[in-house]
Chains A and B, each alone.
Chain A
Amino acid sequence: MSFTKREDSNQKKGICVLDASPDMTIYCAANNLAEIKGYYAEFNHFELNLSDVEEIDSSGIQLLLALKQSATKDGKQVFLNAISNPVAEVMDVLNIRSHFDWIQPE
């Protein structure tokens, strides 16, 4: 499982909280996409927790961008709540933090 839905997801009404797996590289890209697609069909509001991501490459970033872009188009919401250092580094290289909506950690 690459994206894990948190147990408490449903308690926060209709909000899907996803914990990303450590590997967001091309090797898991197909798998990651399949799972995101599954949740995407089910929910309208997402909170992504990327704090456990150890490795991320262009394909992983692309996946996040595609999710965000599709959500904007379909009137759904995607928030990032926490990111690990590797994700932060990549986002800074590509200068794409502003592509996402962020929620401050509680």
Chain B
Amino acid sequence: MNDETDYLAEGRQVFVEESSELLQQAEYILLKLEDEPDNDELINDLFRTIHTIKGSAGLFGFDDVVAFTHVAESVMDQLRDKEIFLNDDLMGLLLDSRDQISQLVAHALDNAEVPIGDSLRETGEELLKNLHQYLDIKTPNSSIVITAESELKVLTESEIALELTEPESEKVTNDYWHISIRFNRNVLANGMDPLSFFRYLETVGDIINMTTLTTDLPSLNDINPEESYLGFEISLASTASKEAIAEVFEFVLADCQLQILSPRSKLSDYTQLIYALPEENIAIGETLVASGALTEDELLKALEYQNVDIDKQTIVTEENITLDKITNALMDDVIIDKNIVDASNVDTALDKQKQVKEVEQQSVRVNAEKLGDLINLVGELVISSAHTELKAKQTEQAELLETVENLTRLVEEIRDATLSLRMVQIGDTFNRFKRVVRDLSKDMGKKIDLQIVGGDTELDKTVVEKISDPLMHLIRNSLDHGIEKPNIRTANGKSETATVKLEAYHDSGSIVIEITDDGAGLNPEILTAKAIENGIISANQQLTLPEIHRLIFAPGFSTAKEITNISGRGVGMDVVNKNIDALRGQISVNSELGEGTSFTIRLPLTLAIIDGFQVQVGQSSYVIPLDLVEECIALDEQQAKKGEYINLRGEVMPYIHLSEIFNDEDSLNSTLDKPGRRYNIVVVEYAGQKAGLVVDELLGEHQTVIKPLGKVFQNLKGISGATILGSGEVAMIIDVPSLIRRVV
């Protein structure tokens, strides 16, 4: 009994994750569809996504979710069958429906026993009413007239004549489903046997006729025995839905071309089918006749249509109308379940690959806790391997040293591999903002184009989760304060549509996220005035421009003249700053009045293990993150006494003694004791600023497991954490950014 509950809870957890992923995906697809409403592949994906949500919700008995999703799904099905077409209204409706599903799912998971609240129910009813409107204009012929109207006007007389000769309503006499399937070459190698799908198909209906096509089969000499060459034409007697039949082939959908025609399909669908299949048209036609799908008569007609079809296409090209539009207009019910990608259409192919890639990336689901445990263990392993290395060195046995060296290298690889498990692409987070930008820009009457660059940049999942909110704040701010209304933009000689760019890239051990807009920019005068008014600075304080810009991060600072519901309460930016600080990151702002504003966030790649550079000051060891170390140079005594700057190949570089900063008496005393001793400077660079750290001794590279400091030490300046050395000693990790800020 208890087991069962556990099992159910586990399943629920999977549903929580899966549904949120799917809903996010649905949103992503919808927004993409807004740009390319004719992309059938996207519409298919959308349908599948929503269908899966409905299915899983059904498993858990979330009836509210199922009931609503079902209607949305039906509308999408119509979309897929080209019975209705996307327009702004429908787009908004589908987006709202997605949100509603999301709300319903959330409700179901929180408290399924309680009936849904009034507001949720009312929204649902309103949406359903609107969705039903789309379902009601189902009759295909009328929708053709509506949508094709504008296109048809440009048809020449001969085309209209052609159109009239196409007997759209003519249907085949065949009472069975017709399934055409061509497996890809690699299907066997992928561990799937076409036979098993046919056996499964027999559970859905009766196979009336099966024709195995061997046209593609090479001769004994050329055949690769592990590839699949057979094609199949199947007649199926079944009362199942098309969806259920397609589901039989669910696992192989990516590896085959599948077409399903319903009983008594239109003759023109068969024309399409014959046309789409790879074999010779006549041969396919004969196969169809032999398998009983078509009569001789019907085949002749179907082939005739095909010619008509080709004629039309030529004319269409001449008239310079896109083929897509005309196909939409003329073929009202084109049933192509698995789109056959036109080889010449590279864009579609690439897009598809990208989607496949995305899907693959979502496929592994591991409990975050397990991953955390693994990373902790690897951390311990790293420490213990450092210890082993140290002990081995003391023995001075060559063979042992060699083995240990090998071991260390492997541990390093394991460390990198383990950490990369937790790395996720930031693209998903970025994509979420598309919706925000879309909705907000509509609300505010602004035109905004969101550009995303470097979405495949990876960073630690925990960092991604924590950066999402600050990013949201920055984007909202940028939309609200930064971007002007279209009329003001045109008056200022800018294009009506504003651009907001989200960019991510790696830079020396950090990830950099930039949010750039081409809006109004920060006005230094207003900022100063406001800061004086709020008592953040005094009236006679002279600030540099970067300092003025940084004022926006001060607590209680807001310049918005009117408080909107989007931003402007003055709690945003300092919270953003704090959040980023907590991630050991930095935020900077750069703005040009009238040109735009750019925020740059720098974050460490990971919060767990880093490559460190170990140095000694007095009796203590310190670790400097290796990514930040530029070089090590010697500092002679004379220079050391001169002051706090040295000449580094013509550049002025400030430096500081770590012994002074950490008040290390041993080191300070030894400095006094030994005149003429050498100093070492470790040159570090962060965010384009160089500085030198003077240390007593350089100890070399060290894999560093960052152990956070306890609460008592959290306010220590210049230290970002601690680590355990191979010898068991504790070493402090130097907080380079804060030290650089101190000396520059």
User: Which 4 pairs from chain A and chain B are nearest by CB?
Assistant: A29-B225, A70-B220, A33-B225, A95-B210
Q: Are A94 and B210 CB-contacts (below 8 A) given A26-B226, A32-B225, A62-B229?
A: yes
Q: B residues near A, CB below 8 A?
A: 188, 193-195, 198-199, 207, 209-212, 214, 217-221, 223, 225-226, 228-230, 232
Complex CA gap A32/B225 in Å reads: 9
Q: Report the interface size for chain A: residues with CB under 8 A from the other chain.
A: 26
Complex CA gap A69/B210 in Å reads: 19
Q: Are A57 and B193 CB-contacts (below 8 A) given A66-B218, A95-B210?
A: yes
Can you name 16 A-B pairs with beta carbons within 8 Å?
A: A26-B193, A36-B220, A40-B220, A57-B188, A58-B194, A58-B195, A59-B226, A62-B225, A62-B230, A63-B225, A66-B223, A70-B221, A73-B219, A90-B195, A93-B195, A94-B195
CB-CB under 8 A from B210, the residues of chain A are 93-95
Complex CA gap A70/B221 in Å reads: 9
Which chain A residue has the least Cβ–Cβ distance from B218?
Answer: A66
CB-CB under 8 A from B219, the residues of chain A are 66, 69-70, 73
Which chain B residue has the least Cβ–Cβ distance from A26?
Answer: B188
Kindly state whether residue A65 has any CB partner on chain B within 8 Å: yes
CB-CB under 8 A from A70, the residues of chain B are 219-221
B193 touches A58 (CB 8 A): yes
Of listed A29, A62, A63, A73, residue having the most chain B CB within 10 A: A62
Of listed A40, A59, A61, A69, residue having the most chain B CB within 10 A: A59
- Smallest beta-carbon distance B186→chain A, Å: 12
CB-CB under 8 A from B221, the residues of chain A are 37, 70
Complex CA gap A69/B219 in Å reads: 7
Q: Are A93 and B217 CB-contacts (below 8 A) given A30-B226, A58-B188?
A: no
Complex CA gap A63/B223 in Å reads: 8
CB-CB under 8 A from A63, the residues of chain B are 223, 225
- Smallest beta-carbon distance A66→chain B, Å: 5
- Chain A, range 60-87, C-beta contacts under 8 Å to B: 61-63, 65-67, 69-70, 73
Kindly state whether residue A103 has any CB partner on chain B within 8 Å: no
Complex CA gap A58/B183 in Å reads: 11
Complex CA gap A99/B220 in Å reads: 16
CB-CB under 8 A from B218, the residues of chain A are 66
- Smallest beta-carbon distance B212→chain A, Å: 5
Partner of A95, one of B211, B223, B229: B211
Partner of A99, one of B207, B209, B214, B226: B214
- Smallest beta-carbon distance B458→chain A, Å: 37
- Smallest beta-carbon distance A13→chain B, Å: 23
Which chain A residue has the least Cβ–Cβ distance from B214?
Answer: A65
Complex CA gap A95/B211 in Å reads: 7
A29 touches B226 (CB 8 A): yes
Partner of B225, one of A59, A69, A94, A95: A59
CB-CB under 8 A from A40, the residues of chain B are 220
A57 touches B211 (CB 8 A): no
Which chain A residue has the least Cβ–Cβ distance from B223?
Answer: A66
- Smallest beta-carbon distance A50→chain B, Å: 16
Complex CA gap A66/B221 in Å reads: 9
Which chain A residue has the least Cβ–Cβ distance from B219?
Answer: A70
- Smallest beta-carbon distance A73→chain B, Å: 7
Complex CA gap A32/B224 in Å reads: 12
Which chain B residue has the least Cβ–Cβ distance from A56?
Answer: B195
CB-CB under 8 A from B194, the residues of chain A are 58
Which chain A residue has the least Cβ–Cβ distance from B191?
Answer: A26
Q: A residues near B, CB below 8 A?
A: 26, 29-30, 32-33, 36-37, 40, 57-59, 61-63, 65-67, 69-70, 73, 90, 93-96, 99
A94 touches B220 (CB 8 A): no
Partner of A58, one of B207, B223, B230: B230
CB-CB under 8 A from B225, the residues of chain A are 26, 29-30, 32-33, 59, 62-63
Complex CA gap A30/B188 in Å reads: 13
Complex CA gap A33/B217 in Å reads: 14
- Smallest beta-carbon distance A31→chain B, Å: 9
A37 touches B220 (CB 8 A): yes
- Smallest beta-carbon distance A71→chain B, Å: 8
- Smallest beta-carbon distance B287→chain A, Å: 12
Complex CA gap A48/B230 in Å reads: 22
- Smallest beta-carbon distance B715→chain A, Å: 65
Q: Are A93 and B198 CB-contacts (below 8 A) given A32-B225, A62-B228, A63-B225?
A: yes
Q: Are A96 and B212 CB-contacts (below 8 A) given A36-B220, A58-B188, A62-B217?
A: yes
Complex CA gap A89/B65 in Å reads: 44
CB-CB under 8 A from A69, the residues of chain B are 214, 217, 219
Complex CA gap A67/B221 in Å reads: 10
CB-CB under 8 A from B195, the residues of chain A are 57-58, 61, 90, 93-94
- Smallest beta-carbon distance B293→chain A, Å: 14
CB-CB under 8 A from A93, the residues of chain B are 195, 198-199, 207, 210
CB-CB under 8 A from A36, the residues of chain B are 220
B188 touches A59 (CB 8 A): yes
Q: Are A66 and B230 CB-contacts (below 8 A) given A95-B209, A95-B210?
A: no
CB-CB under 8 A from A90, the residues of chain B are 195
Of listed B195, B207, B214, B226, residue having the most chain A CB within 10 A: B195
CB-CB under 8 A from A37, the residues of chain B are 220-221
Complex CA gap A66/B217 in Å reads: 6
Which chain B residue has the least Cβ–Cβ distance from A93?
Answer: B198
- Smallest beta-carbon distance B184→chain A, Å: 13
Complex CA gap A47/B220 in Å reads: 17
A65 touches B226 (CB 8 A): no
Complex CA gap A65/B188 in Å reads: 16
A65 touches B217 (CB 8 A): yes
- Smallest beta-carbon distance A24→chain B, Å: 11
CB-CB under 8 A from A32, the residues of chain B are 225
Complex CA gap A54/B209 in Å reads: 26
Complex CA gap A26/B217 in Å reads: 16
- Smallest beta-carbon distance A76→chain B, Å: 10
CB-CB under 8 A from B229, the residues of chain A are 62
CB-CB under 8 A from A66, the residues of chain B are 217-220, 223
Complex CA gap A69/B216 in Å reads: 11
- Smallest beta-carbon distance A26→chain B, Å: 5
- Smallest beta-carbon distance A63→chain B, Å: 6
CB-CB under 8 A from A57, the residues of chain B are 188, 193, 195
Complex CA gap A58/B229 in Å reads: 9
Partner of B212, one of A30, A33, A59, A95: A95
- Smallest beta-carbon distance B200→chain A, Å: 11
Complex CA gap A61/B214 in Å reads: 11
Which chain A residue has the least Cβ–Cβ distance from B193?
Answer: A57
Which chain B residue has the least Cβ–Cβ distance from A28?
Answer: B225
CB-CB under 8 A from B228, the residues of chain A are 58-59, 62
Which chain B residue has the least Cβ–Cβ distance from A33?
Answer: B225
Complex CA gap A29/B188 in Å reads: 11
Complex CA gap A69/B213 in Å reads: 12
Complex CA gap A55/B174 in Å reads: 36
CB-CB under 8 A from B193, the residues of chain A are 26, 57-58
CB-CB under 8 A from A99, the residues of chain B are 212, 214
- Smallest beta-carbon distance B461→chain A, Å: 39
A67 touches B230 (CB 8 A): no
Complex CA gap A1/B195 in Å reads: 26
Complex CA gap A45/B415 in Å reads: 62
Complex CA gap A96/B214 in Å reads: 10
B217 touches A94 (CB 8 A): no
